[in-house]
Structure 1
Amino acid sequence: MLQETTQAAAATGGNAASALTQMGVDHLLTEMINNPGAYAVSWVVLITLLIMSAMSVYWIVINAFKNISLRRNADRVISTFWETTNAQDAIRYMEEQRKTEPFSKIALDAAQAAAHHHRQEGSRLVESLNRSEFVDRALRQGVTRESMRLESGLTVLATVGSTAPFVGLLGTVWGIYSALIRIGATGQASIDAVAGPVGEALIMTALGLFTAIPAVLAYNFFVRQNRVTYNQFDTFAHDLHDFFATGARVGETAHKA
Structure 2
Amino acid sequence: MIHPTAIISPDADIDENVQIGAYSVIGEDVTIGKGTFIGPHVVIDPQVDIGPGCRIFQFAAIGAIPQDLKFGGEKSRVKIGPDVTIREFVTIHRGTEPGGGLTEVGEKSFLMAYTHVAHDCRIGKMVVLANNTTLAGHITIGDHATVGGLVAIHQFVRIGDYAFVGGKSAVVKDVPPYVIAAGDRAILHGLNRVGLKRHGFSDRSMSALKKTYRILFRYGLTLNEAIQRVHAEVEIVPEVERFIGFIKASSRGVTR
| Alignment TM-score > 0.5, same fold | no
Q: Which has the higher contact order (CA 8 A, sep 6+)?
A: 1
Higher strand share goes to which structure?
2
Say which one has the larger Rg.
1
Q: TM-score, normalised by structure 1?
A: 0.22
Higher helix share goes to which structure?
1
